Structure 1
Amino acid sequence: MRILDKYILKKFLSSFALVLILLLPIAIAIDVSEKVDKFLRHSDLSVGEIINDYYVNFIIIFGNTFMPLALFIAVIFFTSKIAGNTEIIAIHSAKISFTRFLKPYFIGATLVTLLALIMNHFFVPNSNKIFNEFSKKYLKKKNYSQDVLTNINLQLGPNDYIYLKSYNSKSNNGHKFSLEKFEGTKLKYKLMAENIRWIEKDTVFRLNTYKKRYILNNRDSIESGIKLDTLLSFSPKDLVNVDGLAKEMTSFKLIEFINQAEDRGISNLNTYLVELYKRTSLPISTYILTFIAVCLAAKKRRGGMGVNLAIGISLMFIYVFFLKIAEVLGAGAETNSLVMVWLPNMFFGALAIYLYIKNAKN
C-alpha cells in the first residue's frame, strides 16, 4: 500500500469515526430530554438499568443506522478539504488516475460495509429485542387492543389448517379455536374448543370445552370433554405477524421462520422479507454513497466545502426518503420485496456510475 493510500485511508476512517461520535451524543441528548420524565416515573428503575438495557442498545441500534450518513458526510468533509488544499491536483499531476485514487476509499468502504453487515445480521437484532422489551415495560402505555389478534387463519402443513376468532398475545389465551385436517379436498378430522391457552412450562396448548370430530366413510365419531392438554405444530409466535418480531431475530432465525411460515401457508411475509433484505442492502449502500461523495467532493468548487456538504446532505435525505417509501411498498402483499428494497441502491448506483465516468474523463 502506497503512502498516499495510507494517508487517505487514515483520513477516511478517522473522519468517519469522528462524525459518528459527534452524531450519537446528539441523538442521546435529544432522547434523554424526551424520556427523562418517563424514567423518573419508575422508582424501581436504576441508572444502571437505564444505561445497560436502554442506552447501550440505543447506541448499537442508532450507531448502525447512522453509519451510511456518517460515512457520507465524512467522505465529503475530508475529500473537500484535500481538494481545497489542491492536494488532488497534485495527485493527478503525479499521473495517478481517478480510478487509482479511489482505491483507499474502496478499502475503507469495504471495512465499514463488513462491520455493518455483521452488526445488521447478528448483533442489532439482539439489541432490538432488549431495547423493545425495556421500552414496552417502562416507556410505552399499556394498550390492550395491541395485544389482541383477531380472525387468525394459519396453514400448518399441506393438509392442516387452524382458525382462531381472537388471540391475546400477552396472556396467551385464545377463543373459538378449530383445527381441520384434510385428505385432498375431503375433511377427515376437526378439533374445536371454546378456549385455548399456551402452557409455556409444558410447551403444550390447553383446550377448554373441546370437541373432536372424526369423519369416517359411513359415519362420524364425536368425542368431547372439559379440558385437553395437547401438542400442536405451532407456537404463539407463529400467530404474531409484526415488524417488531422480524427485527428481533438474527438473520438465520429469520430465514428459518420465513421458511416455516411459507410451509404453513401464511399469505404475506413481505414484512419479514423486507427486514431480511434490508440488512444486506443498507451496508452495500456504503459503497454507493462513498463513490458519490468522492465524485462530488473531488473537485474544488466556488463556495468551498459548504457547497459540497449541502449537495451531499440533500442527496442523502433523498436516499433516505426513497428507502422509506421502498420499505413501505415492499411490505405490500402484491409487490416484489427484493426489488423494492434494492431499488434505491439501483437508482443511486446508476448516479454513482454516471458521476464516476464524468470524473474519470476529466
Structure 2
Amino acid sequence: MRILDKYILKKYLSSFTLVLTLLIPIAIAIDVSEKVDKFLRHANLSVGEIIEDYYVNFVIIYGNTFMPLALFIAVIFFTSKLAGNTEVIAIHSAKISFTRFLKPYFIGATIVTVFALTMNHFVVPRSNKIFENFNRTYLKKKKLNANFITNVNLQLGPNDYIFIKNYTVDRSIGYNFSYEIFEDNKLSQKLMADNIRWVEEDSTYTLINYSKRFLFKDRDSIVHGNKLDTIFNFEPKDLVNIDYMAKEMNSVELYKYINQAKERGVSNLNSYLVEFHKRSSLPISSYILTFLAVALAAKKKRGGMGVNLAIGITLMFVYVFFLKISEVLGAGADTNSFVMVWIPNLIFGGLAFYLYLKNAKN
C-alpha cells in the first residue's frame, strides 16, 4: 500500500469515527431530555440499569442507524478539505487516475461494510431485544402483556389452521381451541377443545373436553372425549405474535422462521423479508455513499466545503426518504420485498456511477 493510500485511508476512518462520535452524544442528550421524567417515575430503577440496559443498547442501535449518514458526511468533509488544499490536483498531476484515487476509499468502505454487516445481522438484534424489553417495561404508557395472548390464528400448512381464543405463555395453556382441515376449500375435519396444554417432556399436546367432527358428503360424524394426547406441527413459541420480534431475532433465527412459515403456507411474509434484506442493503450502501461523496467533493468548488456539505446532506435526506418509502411499500402483500428494499441503493448507485464516469473522463 502506498503512502498516499495509507494517508487517505487514515483520514477516511478517523473522520468517520469522529463524525459518528459527535452524532451519538447529541442523540443521547436529546433522548435523556425526553425520557428523564419517565425514568424518575420508577423508584426501583437504578442509574446502572438505565445505562446498561437502555443507553448501552441505545448507542449500538442508533450508532448503527447513523453509520451511513456519518460516513457520507465524513467522506465529503475530508475529501472537500483535500480538494480545497489542492491535494487532489497534486494527485492527478502525479498521473494518478480518478479510479486509482478511489482505491483507499474502497478499502475503507469494505472495512465499514464488514463491520456494519456483523452489527446488523448479529449484534443489533440482541440489543433491540434488551432495548425494547426495557421500553415495554418502563417507558411505554400502555404496557404489553406478553404473557397473555388473545385470538391466536396460525396456519400450519396449505390447508390446516388452528385458532385459540386465549393463550397463557408461561403456563403453555390455551383456551377455546379449534383445529380445522380443508379439502378443495371446504371444511373436512374440525377438532375442538375447551383447552390445550403443551407437555414439554413428550413434545405433545393434551386436549381437555374435546370433540372431533368429520364432514362427509351425506353426513357428519362427531366423536367426544374428556382427554386426548396428540401432536401438532407447531410449538408454543410459534403462537406468540412476533411482528415486533422480527427486529429482535438475529438473521439466522429470522431466516429459519421465514422458511418455516413458508412451509406452513403463510402467504404474506414481506414484513419479515424487508427486515431480513434491509440488514444487508444498508451496510452495502457504504460503497455507494462513499463513491458518491468522493465524486461530489473531489473538485474544488466556489463556496468550498459548505456547498459540498449542503448538497451531500440534501442527498442523504433524499436517500433516507427513499429508504423509508421502500420499506413501507416492500411490506405490502403484492410487492417484491427484495427489489423494494434495494431500490434506493440502485437509484443512488446509478447516480454514483454517473458521477464517477464524469470525474474519470476529466
Q: TM-score, normalised by structure 1?
A: 0.90
For the Cα contact (< 8 Å) 2:137–2:143, is it kept in 1? no
1:222-249: CA deviation from partner (whole Å, max 9, x where unpaired): 4435566654322344344554211111
Q: CA–CA distance in 1 between the matches of 2:203 and 2:132? A: 25
- Name the residue aligned to 1:133: 133
- Name the residue aligned to 1:351: 351
Q: How far off its partner does 1:162 sit?
A: 1.6
The farther-off stretch of 209-218 and 137-146 is 209-218
The farther-off stretch of 177-186 and 26-35 is 177-186
Q: CA–CA distance in 1 between the matches of 2:219 and 2:187? A: 13
Q: How far off its partner does 1:22 sit?
A: 0.4
- Name the residue aligned to 2:116: 116
Q: How does 1:192-271 map to 2 (within 5 A)?
A: 192-196=192-196, 207-213=207-213, 222-225=222-225, 231-271=231-271
The runs of 5 or more residues in structure 2 that have no matched partner are: none
Q: How does 1:67-216 map to 2 (within 5 A)?
A: 67-143=67-143, 152-165=152-165, 174-181=174-181, 189-196=189-196, 207-213=207-213
The runs of 5 or more residues in structure 1 that have no matched partner are: none
- Name the residue aligned to 1:332: 332
Q: How many residues align?
A: 362
Q: 1:130 to 1:220 in 2, by over 3 A?
A: same
Q: Secondary structure at the match of 2:114?
A: helix
Q: How does 1:20-99 map to 2 (within 5 A)?
A: 20-99=20-99
Q: CA–CA distance in 1 between the matches of 2:77 and 2:147? A: 47
Q: How far off its partner does 1:9 sit?
A: 0.2
1:242-270: CA deviation from partner (whole Å, max 9, x where unpaired): 54211111111111000111111212100
1:77-130: CA deviation from partner (whole Å, max 9, x where unpaired): 000011100000000000000000000000000000000001111111111111
1:128-176: CA deviation from partner (whole Å, max 9, x where unpaired): 1111111111111235699987665432135532234565779876554
Q: CA–CA distance in 2 between the matches of 1:341 and 1:183? A: 37
- Name the residue aligned to 2:319: 319
Q: How far off its partner does 1:47 sit?
A: 1.2
Q: TM-score, normalised by structure 2?
A: 0.90
For the Cα contact (< 8 Å) 2:292–2:355, is it kept in 1? yes
Q: CA–CA distance in 2 between the matches of 1:98 and 1:264? A: 52
Q: How far off its partner does 1:41 sit?
A: 1.0
The farther-off stretch of 285-294 and 145-154 is 145-154
Q: Secondary structure at the match of 1:191?
A: strand
For the Cα contact (< 8 Å) 1:154–1:265, is it kept in 2? no
Q: CA–CA distance in 2 between the matches of 1:177 and 1:147? A: 18
Q: CA–CA distance in 2 between the matches of 1:202 and 1:18? A: 56
For the Cα contact (< 8 Å) 1:84–1:300, is it kept in 2? yes
The farther-off stretch of 210-219 and 328-337 is 210-219
Counterpart AA for 1:92: H
Q: 1:245 to 1:199 in 2, by over 3 A?
A: farther
Q: CA–CA distance in 2 between the matches of 1:313 and 1:159? A: 51
- Name the residue aligned to 1:274: 274
Q: How far off its partner does 1:48 sit?
A: 1.2
The farther-off stretch of 170-179 and 105-114 is 170-179
For the Cα contact (< 8 Å) 1:238–1:261, is it kept in 2? no
- Name the residue aligned to 2:11: 11
For the Cα contact (< 8 Å) 1:242–1:271, is it kept in 2? no
Q: How far off its partner does 1:186 sit?
A: 7.6
The farther-off stretch of 339-348 and 190-199 is 190-199
Q: CA RMSD in A?
A: 2.8
Q: Secondary structure at the match of 1:244?
A: coil
Q: CA–CA distance in 2 between the matches of 1:170 and 1:271? A: 27
Q: Secondary structure at the match of 1:192?
A: strand
Q: Secondary structure at the match of 1:332?
A: coil
Q: CA–CA distance in 1 between the matches of 2:201 and 2:137? A: 22
Q: 1:295 to 1:236 in 2, by over 3 A?
A: same
1:47-67: CA deviation from partner (whole Å, max 9, x where unpaired): 111111111111111111111
Q: CA–CA distance in 2 between the matches of 1:203 and 1:66? A: 44
Q: How far off its partner does 1:182 sit?
A: 5.5
